[in-house]
Chains A and B, each alone.
Chain A
């Protein structure tokens, strides 16, 4: 019996062996394919696939979360929709992948997602060591601190000995350490993997304070049982420029992402919105005409249809519309502050559309 089974198994193993020795040869061709695939932009891959895969947040009201109807909704999410509208002329051709803070960068590095739009801070290390490329800044944020109103705290110095909850795998964790270390104040960090758990721990009083980006704190506060019991201190612990990012080295795809974002800002600047975009097609303003593809070759140079911004603005809206929908008074209500256009004294400054 034993002999026979071996006689049967051996040819099988030999076959596997032969295949395996072939594998290294095969491997080279796949490696080549990969490099050529890299030379062909991710944009082509997305077009061939027929939809765009966007990494997003699923638990942050205002920026990216799953609404009760089971749809992704939020500021970041809308930029994902805008990209789908630009590429396919249909804002619905997008697949959202909810990711935790810890998962997000590997998901982009390994090519699981096409673009990451998940309130991710643009930092030197991530840009270089992690080999990622930011396209643009969609939201200028800063790290803040939320505490209970009853404590009466105003500054970091008041918080000596406090336990502070935050989410692991974020820049927040490092800024927290930096802020307290530079002031020589002792504190106890409490780290969780999910934003929700961090927030619960703070709300239940396990921690004295919660730190995160101010916008995120505002969103979390708005969802609390008694939002008025909590205040976000008037201190900014760090700069947090947030924006969409793509894998390193794919400039063509990165260009598409950044110009769609800038296009939406440009549209706000020029007063083009989802309501008047059709009338604006007849505008005499050369910038608007170029923006909407009536003249110029913006679409062609990006590898997109000429009227891609029309589709974006019609289906998703300009920057102000997206902001107001999710972060403005209809949403979680964060004052626009630095996120106003440059001409209104803010930091939004789209590059020249020409």
Chain B
């Protein structure tokens, strides 16, 4: 009976006062507004006689790009865009890893009992957080890196590593001819180690104590490839050492090794230093959010300081750290678009060239936004998965 009455009472309310109807209406109205704005924008676009299309992407770019994956002027616009995307992803991924490490160390140092360490960390964080990134990038590129010696007088470190205002050239491992004989050994080692780890985990779950020492896993990982190295003829890997070369006209260039151009070095260093300062604060907040009693209890049980940090405090702090950390990662990725100021060919810089040479402003900007959105959402996705796992571990 009571149920029927409530139904009736709801029905009595006229639809213009029914909150459910009103909600739907409000959303419809909002949708209409959005559609109207879009239509208006499109009509403006048409009125100016502009045409929309992506057919230019397959045309020959006829400009040259020197950073990242190989590119020549006869390649297409699409390939040029890809060069930019790869460069941005490269800066973002390496930047995120390095910024996390530097931020973690600085954040911990900020809470250190060592006065000097604590103050250095504080000064670093405050200076970097309170000056604009663009200014830092200009300073780093034009006032620091540009002032390094020219290539002909490059600083040579052991390795050899050449440091000049053209960038840093480091030796690099490359695959030699006989690698095709060697890689089965690597695969075998990885598979074997994997099996051992699975067995070890099972024993831990069953008996509560590992049956196989981790040392076995490592030795298997090392021993099998070494055995392979001895069995096959020649070296599967070779060191590619950089060397200064004077070309026929007198131009000095570097042959071999891997060159980290000054632009790449500048944008990467700039972003890492900047973002790490913010991450350090996130880490500090996270550590301080763990109740003091946790560390005290651990100390009472005889844990060393390092063990407390590694086993007790950091795992709990991570719950607090990860969500704001995601924002910092996204900031780093998006800030990489400032690379255009210092001549690094990231996604944005390449797009600028593309839209200048093709005249397709709207199309190229949609591509830029789409790409950043895709990269950012991917980072968010990965980090959210990690976040979820950490939240479960906490229970």
Binding site for B on A (CB under 8 A): 2-3, 6-7, 9-10, 13-14, 16-17, 20-21, 23-24, 27-28, 30-31, 34-35, 101-102, 105-106, 109-110, 125-126, 129-131, 151-153, 157-163, 168-170, 173-174, 176-178, 180-181, 188-193, 197, 200-201, 204-206, 208
Quick check: is B395 within 8 A (CB to CB) of the other chain? no
**Known contacts A130-B359, A189-B64: A160-B147 contact under CB 8 Å:** no
**Known contacts A31-B43, A201-B343: A159-B251 contact under CB 8 Å:** yes
Nearest A residue to B25 by beta-carbon distance? A10
B36 touches A10 (CB 8 A): no
- Identify A191's interface contact among B23, B28, B245, B353, CB under 8 A: B353
> Interface SS of chain B: helix, strand, loop or mixed?
helix
B150 touches A190 (CB 8 A): no
A178 touches B73 (CB 8 A): yes
A193 touches B341 (CB 8 A): yes
Which residues in B have their C-beta under 8 angstroms from that of A192?
A: 343
Nearest B residue to A152 by beta-carbon distance? B250
- Identify A20's interface contact among B33, B250, B251, CB under 8 A: B33
Complex Cα distance, B39 from A109, in Å, reads 21
The 10 closest A-B pairs by CB, nearest first: A158-B249, A169-B356, A20-B36, A17-B29, A13-B29, A177-B73, A204-B146, A161-B247, A130-B359, A205-B150
Nearest B residue to A35 by beta-carbon distance? B47
Quick check: is B54 within 8 A (CB to CB) of the other chain? no
Complex Cα distance, B21 from A10, in Å, reads 11
A101, A152, A208: residue with the most chain B Cβ atoms closer than 10 Å: A208
**Known contacts A13-B30, A131-B49, A178-B73: A206-B146 contact under CB 8 Å:** yes
Q: How many A-B residue pairs have CB under 8 A?
A: 156
Quick check: is B253 within 8 A (CB to CB) of the other chain? yes
Which residues in B have their C-beta under 8 angstroms from that of A2?
A: 19
- Identify B62's interface contact among A169, A177, A200, CB under 8 A: A177
B356 touches A189 (CB 8 A): no
Complex Cα distance, B326 from A144, in Å, reads 48
Which residues in A have their C-beta under 8 angstroms from that of B37?
A: 20
Contact with A along B239-265 (1 / 0, CB 8 A): 000000101111101000000001100
A16 touches B33 (CB 8 A): yes
Contact with A along B146-165 (1 / 0, CB 8 A): 11001100000000000001
Which residues in A have their C-beta under 8 angstroms from that of B30?
A: 13
Complex Cα distance, B250 from A200, in Å, reads 22
**Known contacts A160-B248, A161-B247, A174-B63: A201-B356 contact under CB 8 Å:** no
Which residues in A have their C-beta under 8 angstroms from that of B340?
A: 193
- Identify B40's interface contact among A24, A157, A189, CB under 8 A: A24
Complex Cα distance, B27 from A10, in Å, reads 10
Which residues in A have their C-beta under 8 angstroms from that of B166?
A: 163, 206
- 9 A-B pairs besides A102-B352, A177-B64, A193-B341 with CB distance below 8 A are A24-B40, A160-B249, A160-B251, A169-B353, A178-B62, A178-B73, A191-B65, A193-B343, A208-B251
Query: Could you tell me the distance in whole angstroms from the C-beta of B228 to the nearest C-beta in chain A?
Result: 38
**19 CB < 8 A contacts A-B:** A7-B22, A9-B26, A13-B30, A21-B32, A24-B43, A31-B46, A125-B359, A129-B358, A161-B249, A176-B64, A181-B73, A181-B74, A188-B66, A190-B66, A191-B349, A204-B146, A205-B150, A206-B165, A206-B166
Complex Cα distance, B50 from A110, in Å, reads 10
Query: Could you tell me the distance in whole angstroms from the C-beta of A277 to the nearest C-beta in chain B?
Result: 41
Nearest B residue to A129 by beta-carbon distance? B359
B39 touches A27 (CB 8 A): yes
Nearest B residue to A15 by beta-carbon distance? B29
Nearest A residue to B62 by beta-carbon distance? A174
Which residues in A have their C-beta under 8 angstroms from that of B342?
A: 197
B63 touches A201 (CB 8 A): no
- Identify A24's interface contact among B29, B36, B49, CB under 8 A: B36
A23 touches B36 (CB 8 A): yes
- Identify A6's interface contact among B19, B147, B355, B356, CB under 8 A: B19
Query: Could you tell me the distance in whole angstroms from the C-beta of B51 to the nearest C-beta in chain A?
Result: 10
B150 touches A169 (CB 8 A): no
B353 touches A168 (CB 8 A): yes
**Known contacts A24-B40, A201-B146: A191-B343 contact under CB 8 Å:** yes
- Identify B64's interface contact among A35, A126, A173, A201, CB under 8 A: A173
B66 touches A189 (CB 8 A): yes
A10 touches B39 (CB 8 A): no
Complex Cα distance, B341 from A99, in Å, reads 15
B343 touches A197 (CB 8 A): yes
Complex Cα distance, B246 from A158, in Å, reads 12
Which residues in B have their C-beta under 8 angstroms from that of A177?
A: 62-64, 73
Which residues in B have their C-beta under 8 angstroms from that of A23?
A: 36, 39-40
A173 touches B353 (CB 8 A): yes
A158 touches B250 (CB 8 A): yes
Nearest B residue to A151 by beta-carbon distance? B250
A21 touches B36 (CB 8 A): yes
Quick check: is B192 within 8 A (CB to CB) of the other chain? no
A6 touches B26 (CB 8 A): yes
Query: Could you tell me the distance in whole angstroms from the C-beta of A16 to the nearest C-beta in chain B?
Result: 6
Quick check: is B142 within 8 A (CB to CB) of the other chain? yes
Query: Could you tell me the distance in whole angstroms from the C-beta of A250 to the nearest C-beta in chain B?
Result: 12
Quick check: is B357 within 8 A (CB to CB) of the other chain? yes
Quick check: is B292 within 8 A (CB to CB) of the other chain? no
Query: Could you tell me the distance in whole angstroms from the C-beta of A33 to the nearest C-beta in chain B?
Result: 9
For window 305-333 of chain B, which residues contact chain A by CB distance below 8 Å? none
Complex Cα distance, B340 from A24, in Å, reads 39
Quick check: is B361 within 8 A (CB to CB) of the other chain? yes
Complex Cα distance, B74 from A3, in Å, reads 64
Which residues in B have their C-beta under 8 angstroms from that of A170?
A: 356
